Structure 1
C-alpha cells in the first residue's frame, strides 16, 4: 500500500528567485543529511549519513525542475558503534538488503508568492512513499574555486512504520525506547554544473 507522507516546499528568503536554470550537483563535503529520533520519550538521538550524492535540475519553467538523491544507508553515524550496528541491522535499515535510500521528485507546484511544493518519493527499506519536505532556498553565490553554489535547508518528519521499520521495545508504562517518528534535517550545498570541481 501507499501512504501520503507529503511534499517538498521551496521558499526563497527575501525574494522569489531560484538558482539559474541548468544542472546542479550536490556537494557532500559541504552538506549534511541528518536525522533526530526520540529516545525514552525525553531525549533526542542525533545521527547523520556520511555518504550521499545527487543532482538538481532547475528548469526554465520552474515547475518542471527535478531533484534526485541517493544515500548509502550503511553510512549512518550516531556517534555510538553499538547503536549504529543495530540501526544497520534488519530491525531498522537492513543495509545488506537495502544499501541505498533514494529520493526522486515527480512534480512541482506553486504554494504561494515565494513558495513551491515539490512532489517526490522516498525509497527506504524496500518501501517507496510520497514525502513531505519544507525546503528553504538560502541563496546563490560564488565559491573560492571559481564555481557557483546554491544553498538549501529542508526538514521533514517520517513515520518509521510507513517504511516497515516496526522494531521497538517498551521500557515501562507504555513508553517506547525509540520514538515512532524521525525528524530529517537537510543542509545542502549544490554546485552549478554536471559534476563537482576537481
Structure 2
C-alpha cells in the first residue's frame, strides 16, 4: 500500500538529530545539511505526489481482477498451487494518513480449486467426496469448511517500508484458530476506466508465508510442506458514495 511519508520524515529527523549530537569535523557542514534537506524534501514530495492520485475512500475487491493462491512444496519437487475463486475484501484508505488505513478479507474455503485432471473417485473409492477439490474444502484434515465456513484476515497495523511498499500486520483466522501474520505489500498504481466512471481502481500485490501446523492442520505431513506461501494480486474499486453512506448508517 502507498503509505504515508511520516515514517520517512521521522527517520530523517532522527538521523539529523544524531548527526548534530556527534563530535565531528564541521568543515563542509553547510553543504552537507543543504544536500540532506534537498533529498528529504524531494523524497517527501515524491511520496505525496503518488498519494495525491488516490482518493481517501472505502474500496472493495474488484472480483474480475483479483487472484489469490496458496502454495506448498510437494515432496520437495514442485510447488503445488491452490487457487481460491470466491473472496472479498474491504479497504478503508486514508490518503492523508495511510498508516491509519484498514483492511479486511474474507475467503470462502469451498471455492478452492486445483488442477486435478484424473478421476478422483477411481483412485479414492472409499472417499466420501466426489472430487479432489471437494475433499480439500470439506475434509476435516484440510479446510473443514462445514465447521469453519470462512477464512478471515483483519488488519491491526500498517507500516511503510518504501515509496510504494509496506507491511500490513493482522489477525488471520483459519480452522477456528487466530494467529498474527504480516503481509508484504506493493502498491501498483491507480487508474480509471470508463465503465466505472470517476471511481478509482487501485492495484496491489501482497504475500506472506504461514505454517499450517500453527492453525492445527497437519494432513499429509512429510508429503507436503508445513510452510504455505500465500499470494494476492488484484484491484480494489472505490465504492460509490451511496454504498459508503449505507455502510456508515448501518454501523
Cross-structure match for 1:168? 220
Shift of 1:36: 1.2
Q: Which residue of 2 aligns with 1:132?
A: 182
CA distance in 2 between counterparts of 1:74 and 1:113 reads 37
RMSD: 2.1
By relative contact order (CA 8 Å, sep 6+), the higher-ranking structure is 1
Query: Does residue 1:75 correspond to 2:127, yes or no?
Result: no
Q: Tell me, what secondary structure is at the counterpart of 1:178?
A: coil
Partner Cα distance (1:11, 1:62) in 2: 7
Equivalents in 1 of 2:184, 2:204: separation in Å?
A: 10
Greater percentage in strand: 1
Q: Which runs of 5+ in 2 are unaligned?
A: 4-42, 121-130, 244-251
TM-score by length of 2: 0.66
Residues 11 and 156 of structure 1, relative CA distance in 2, 3 Å threshold: farther
Change (3 A) 1:26 1:114: closer
Q: Which of 128, 134, 141 does residue 85 from structure 1 map onto?
A: 134
TM-score if structure 1 supplies the norm length? 0.82
Aligned match of 2:223: 177
The answer to whether structure 1 residue 155 and structure 2 residue 190 are counterparts is: no
Task: Choose which of 188, 191, 196 in structure 1 pairs with 2:234.
Answer: 188
Deviation (angstroms), 1:87: 1.7
CA deviation digits over 1:116-166, x for unaligned, max 9?
A: 332211111111111121110000001131232000001111111011101
Is 1:66 aligned to residue 102 of structure 2? yes
Structure 1 residues without counterparts, runs of 5 or longer: 1-9, 170-175
Give 1:64 shift: 0.7
Between the aligned partners of 2:2 and 2:98, the Cα distance in structure 1 is 13
Q: Work out which of the two has the higher radius of gyration on C-alpha atoms and give 1 or 2.
A: 2
| 2:141 match: secondary structure | coil
Higher helix share: 2
Structure 1 segment 31-42 matched on structure 2, within 5 A = 31-42=66-77
**Which residue is equivalent to 1:106?**
156
